[in-house]
Amino acid sequence: MKQNKSHQVPSDKLTTLRCFIPYLAKYRFSFCFIALLVIFSAAVNLYGTYLIAPIINHYILPHNYDGLLQAVLFMCGMYALGVLSTAVYKQRMTRIAQAVIFDIRADLFEHLQTLPLEFFDTHTHGDIMSHFTNDLDVLQDAFHNCFDNIIQSFTIICGTLIAIFILNWKLSCIVATFMLMMTCLIQFYGKRSKHYFRIQQKAMGELNGYIEELVEGSKVVKVFQHETQSMQDFNEHNETLRHASAQALTYAGRTIPTVVSLSYVNYAIVASIGGFFVLANQLQLGELSAYLIYVRQTAMPINQFTQQLNFILAALAGAQRIFTLMGQISETDEGKVTLAQVTSSAHGRICESDTHTGQWAWRHPHEDHVEYVPLAGDVRFHNVVFGYRSDRDILKGISLYAKPGQKIAFVGSTGAGKTTIINLINRFYDISQGSITYDGIDVKLIRKADLRRSIAVVLQDTHLFSTSILENIRYGNLQANDEQIIEAAKLANAHSFIRRLPQGYHTQVQSNGSNLSQGQRQLLAIARAAVCDPPVLILDEATSSIDTRTEKLIEKGMDQLMEGRTVFVIAHRLSTVRNADAIIVLDHGKIIERGSHEELIQRKGRYYQLYNGQFELE
């Protein structure tokens, strides 16, 4: 369940830590329980060490073996309780860590689906995936290893300082000085390693993105013998990651040896001076023994704290990337107009229905009444201006109309704006000026989910999911039953080849359809659009990847699919749009011609030149 609808984009570690608060707050009582158990376990160890002084002074040196046995049994009981509490809080910490990461992963995926198409156009898939793999992995490691260990280390450090000052304040001044030196070194190395850990996470995301791109385009790499250059590019990305990782781990790796060396020096100095104190009767032997154990133990919590610091630094770098992604602005949707199932009375009055009627209308709420506009598929552009960048317009004052049931074809050279118009109909992007209306309603007033539900798109590059053919077609309408899916496949003339597959409609699609031909994948995309049964259909030259024989087989099915629908076609082969009701010729973001095939041929303008090969279409 999503904890926050949006996150502030973290610019520092303090903001990043603040982003964790909603996730930790859910388990605050469990964290408090774990903290109490950790403190108890640490206190038991501290007190057990403190008992060494009276055991030596009151039982071993006076040869009081009965009292020694009781003291040893008491210590064993204490340590047993400490072990039990450790086992309980470790198990509980593992469960909570997994739960927190589960929540973050779920929110990250949920937020990712709300981002606009522009985000995916400007970020590599590998970099996005690294948030779910590398970044969440280091965050999970930190949760598993840091919370309880940091509390334990802090408790032991504080308890040790209190105990040694109680035992001998003079020697404790030396220990405190060394501990201060260790702390300063930890901060010095930590600050530098944090910088490189952040670079490491970024470099890892870029490397993953490059590898994914090369894997997807492996056929192109081999066809054009680009292996050598690809290896050089890979080595550059890999070297950036290696350098950042080496620097981060170098600074992190220097910390522990330095702290350990200082702890040995500290131990040697304190042991020597303490021995003189015992000889001078300023300190008892039992107190010195306990004191030296405490001094030896001071290195352990500091070493642990240093190790946790490395985990935390890596986790903060990953967390900052995660919460930066979660802080990206979601796709805005101010639409109030929705799709509704309706029925029509004998008098032509439209009424909303709770059951499936097969009739749809736009539910348009006004201040004093609700208007129902029949879903017809009338799409119009009114002086539309749009650019992907603010300093460059792609469409320059486009005005066009598509009446219900019309087939509109867009032709023009690459970069003319054909695909851009299609993206605007779906509101993948919002226009800069002008307006787009759908059945007389400005598309900005229509809720995006309802707008896109009324439009089916068949892209030139078909994407299939790793599930059965049945479910791939059902993707167009999740409420469709198996009979409707089979009818849609028959309409697209995909039924015959599906039936010949080993498991028929239950055949599993592998790796984006690698076990199917390009033509078969395209037929499934057409069937997916057919099961959607929309009033508006967008075809990005849906038959461009199908051979001529297959194309002829599906012409009748495509005609049935387009019948009664408003159809927009992006034409890559002009022979496929001869029967369009209107052909719109685009050039540099402007409409320069509109008319039927015969009308445009008679004018002998740009379309005539394109059709006769005097201009390149692509």
Task: Please write the tens of the pLDDT for every residue from 18-30.
Answer: 888 888 888 889 8
pLDDT at 11 exceeding the cut of 60: no
Q: pLDDT tens across 102-115, in order?
A: 999 999 998 988 88
The chain-wide mean pLDDT, for the chain, equals 82
pLDDT score of 4: 45
- For residues 287 and 53, give the distance between their C-alpha atoms in angstroms, rounded to a whole number: 5
The reply to whether 616 falls in a domain is no
Same-domain check for residues 359 and 435? no
Residue 36 sits at the vertex; the CA angle it makes with 100 and 145, to the nearest 5 degrees, is: 45
Q: Is 458 helix (H, G, I), strand (E, B) or coil?
A: strand
CB 237 within 8 A of CB 127: no
pLDDT digits (tens, 9 = 90+) for 455-464: 888 877 778 8
Are 361 and 491 members of one domain? no
| Whole-number Å distance between alpha carbons of 303 and 259 | 7
What pLDDT band is residue 388 in, cutting at 50, 70 and 90?
confident
- Give CA separation, 272 vs 153, 276, 503, in Å: 27, 7, 82
The reply to whether 351 falls in a domain is yes
Q: Is 1 inside a domain boundary?
A: no
Q: What pLDDT was estimated at residue 59?
A: 75
Burial class for 465, CB neighbours closer than 10 Å (0-12, 13-18, 19+): exposed
The rounded distance, in Å, linking the Cα atoms of 316 and 133 is 15
- State both tokens at 262: 């200082």
Domain range for 363 is: 338-374
pLDDT tens profile 507-560: 888 876 778 887 788 888 888 888 888 888 888 765 655 566 666 665 665 666
**Per-residue confidence at 398, pLDDT binned at 50, 70, 90?**
very high
What distance in Å separates the CA atoms of residue 446 and residue 333, rounded to the nearest whole number?
Answer: 9
Name the residue with higher pLDDT: 468 or 345.
Answer: 468
Say whether both 161 and 289 belong to one domain.
Answer: yes
Work out the burial of residue 602: count CB atoms within 10 Å of its CB; fewer than 13 is exposed, 13-18 middle, 19 or more buried: exposed
Tokens of 196: 């490189």
Question: Which one of 129-138, 206-215, 254-263 scores highest in mean pLDDT?
Answer: 129-138
Query: Are 71 and 187 found together in one domain?
Result: yes
Whether 444 is covered by a domain: the verdict is yes
Least confident of 46-60, 460-474, 514-528, 587-601: 46-60
Write out pLDDT tens, residues 168-211. Answer: 888 878 888 887 887 787 777 777 777 777 788 788 878 877 78
Confidence (pLDDT) at 551? 65
Pick from 148-162, 282-296, 342-356 the range whose average pLDDT is largest: 148-162
Mark whether 343 and 419 lie in a shared domain.
Answer: no
Q: Are residues 410 and 541 in the same domain?
A: yes
Quote the percentage of the chain above a pLDDT of 90: 10
Does some domain include residue 5? no
Query: 322 and 368 share a domain?
Result: no
Residue 135 clears pLDDT 70, i.e. is over it: yes
413 against 443, higher pLDDT: 443
Q: Does residue 217 surpass a pLDDT of 60?
A: yes
Question: Same structural domain for residues 92 and 131?
Answer: yes
Q: Is 152 exposed, middle or buried (0-12, 13-18, 19+ CB in 10 A)?
A: buried
Q: Are residues 298 and 394 in the same domain?
A: no
Give me the pLDDT at residue 1, please.
44
One-character DSSP codes across 354-384: SS--S-EEEEEE-SS-EEEEE----EEEEEE
Checking if the pLDDT of 490 tops 60, the result is yes
The number of distinct structural domains making up the chain is: 3
Question: Is 401 in the same domain as 365?
Answer: no
The reply to whether 354 and 475 lie within a common domain is no
Q: Is residue 546 part of a domain?
A: yes
User: Mean pLDDT highest for which of 151-160, 288-297, 422-431?
Assistant: 422-431
Residue 612: predicted pLDDT: 79
Read off the pLDDT of each residue in 113-142 and give the average, rounded to a whole number: 83
Is residue 3 included in any domain, yes or no? no
CATH of the domain at 121: 1.20.1560.10
The lowest-confidence range among 32-36, 480-484, 505-509, 516-520 is 516-520
Mark whether 121 and 262 lie in a shared domain: yes
Q: Give the model confidence (pLDDT) of 440-451 as tens digits.
A: 999 999 999 899
Task: For residue 589, give the CATH number of its domain.
Answer: 3.40.50.300
In a domain, 169, yes or no: yes
Residue bearing the bigger pLDDT, 457 or 434: 434
